[in-house]
Structure 1
């Protein structure tokens, strides 16, 4: 069915709109705000076409030829008709990337059922964003350090996935294998995989950024790390390191290979904790360690192609709570 004037039009409110999608042959204009369209169907039942008009315009076609057009609608959710977050697929209209919540990383990013980095790091319970056209996967997970991974609790309209963890230091109370007063209770894992679906690319064909929030309030202040080739031999199998916005090396021990980069980080590590002011209302910088108190931190992975175009992004928000 070709695009025509037969499509009925639905317009947003200039606020954050939620469009519940039913019958086909409708055109949705989200206008301003952060908007989401929700299909009570499976992602695999549809085809997608994006137009580079600057308005993130997407045409979705179902198996019968029915058409749904979206303009300025940031996210399209396919929930498979269930309330289980594990069934959800989020389609980002700006990049065409998809995000699945609470799933495994790609088989190419696994080493005998574990991550390449460390020992015993699980490949399950990740938030996984994939760009099918570029063959790139960006994945983030939250866990108690040396303990169990955590399930997400909610997802925002822009695709940000929320987690909740206990505050304080690493503790067996949370399922960690040991107590460690010098580490925060929780850690986050990241995994980057390239060359998916037959793509002949590797890590060197893209630019990857890791943004780590150091503002403990609901606001954000990101430390931006970029994966770079230092031009000299490095003691890891990826050949890359991460440098901050000042060009200072911050992470150099990723596990992986030419196609995969992975690691596990903790908010007690100096390249993060050194930049956190635990109490912005008190003069001077107040250390976050060793208390590791209540906070909210966002973590974001980004992938850019050779033309510096954003092709995929994965963002989580970790709410650190005193549950007692």
Structure 2
């Protein structure tokens, strides 16, 4: 299930995006470092996005972000060995609806829009994107918790009933997804996509309170061959290059 919201609503976000650590830390999987997120925080709601190496040349995940210090992440497809129908990179998202612990807002108190734009789209036309609410759905395998949760104490729903309870009673949700997950779902703009294709990908995650935007983060993922020197510079910002990570997916 997905919904479309007018592109003009997204163009005027609540505040400028920042980059760094999400709160309360990365709670999904194990071995996943914090940092290199592009973050927007407003009215107690924090939205974070980043891209990360999911399949390196050995086919395993790394805490390698190739982040430019702003909102762009760059990957050389020659440096990855992804599984069939997968991109070598994942995008990772974090939502915290009570980041300062003083509003009492939980995940189900807002609606959300995740827009995954097809390769080389310019990010202004939602017809070029697969658009859906990643939280207010029947069931999802997100890592869910509150401001005290860690990767060792996160909750993952086992069925729709427990999922509904978790999003109604918690303020943090996170996940790590691959563009290849959305091919074959009747997902419009991403149907039939080759997730290993070089090009530019734009990803946007927005939280709404009614019809108004509370917080919104957008990242650009460039998948292009680059000389080694270019990646050396990005590695200083991306941090923890070469450290392996284990994810649920």
Answer whether TM exceeds 0.5 for this pair.
Answer: yes
Asked whether the equivalents of residues 117 and 189 of structure 2 are also in contact (C-alpha less than 8 Å), the reply is: no
**Partner-residue secondary structure (3-state), 1:196:** coil
Which 5+ residue runs of structure 2 have no aligned equivalent? 1-10, 55-60, 146-155, 228-249
Deviation at residue 293 of structure 1 after TM alignment? 2.2
Alignment of 1:1-324 (within 5 A): 94-101=12-19, 103-107=20-24, 110=25, 115-131=26-42, 134-145=43-54, 146-153=61-68, 155=70, 161-167=71-77, 170-171=80-81, 180-197=83-100, 198-214=102-118, 216-220=119-123, 221-226=128-133, 227-230=135-138, 238=144, 258-271=170-183, 287-288=193-194, 292-305=196-209, 307-323=210-226
User: Aligned partners of 1:122, 1:237: CA distance in 2, in Å?
Assistant: 15
Q: Distance in 1 between matches of 2:32 and 2:173?
A: 14
What's the TM-score, normalizing by structure 2? Answer: 0.63
Alpha carbons of structure 1 residues 135 and 181: separation in structure 2 relative to 1, 3 Å: same
**How many aligned positions are there?**
188
Q: Which has the larger radius of gyration?
A: 1
Give, in angstroms, the shift of residue 94 of structure 1.
Answer: 4.9
Structure with higher strand content = 1
For structure 1, the 5+ residue unaligned runs are 1-92, 156-160, 172-178, 242-248, 279-284
Q: State the Cα distance separating 1:204 from its structure 2 match.
A: 1.4
CA contact (8 A) 1:169 1:180 kept: no
**Cα separation, 1, equivalents of 2:189 and 2:105:** 40
Greater helix fraction, Structure 1 or Structure 2: 2
Give 1:116 shift.
Answer: 2.0
Q: Secondary structure at the match of 1:184?
A: coil
Across the aligned residues of Structure 1 and Structure 2, the Cα RMSD in angstroms comes to 3.6
CA shift in 2, pair 1:209/1:258, >3 Å: same
Shift of 1:275: 5.1
Q: TM-score, normalised by structure 1?
A: 0.49
Determine if contact 1:142/1:187 at 8 Å carries over to the other structure: yes
SS at 1:105 equivalent: coil
Assess, with a 3 A threshold, how the Cα gap between structure 1 residues 167 and 311 changes in structure 2: closer, same or farther: same
* Secondary structure in 2 matching 1:268: helix
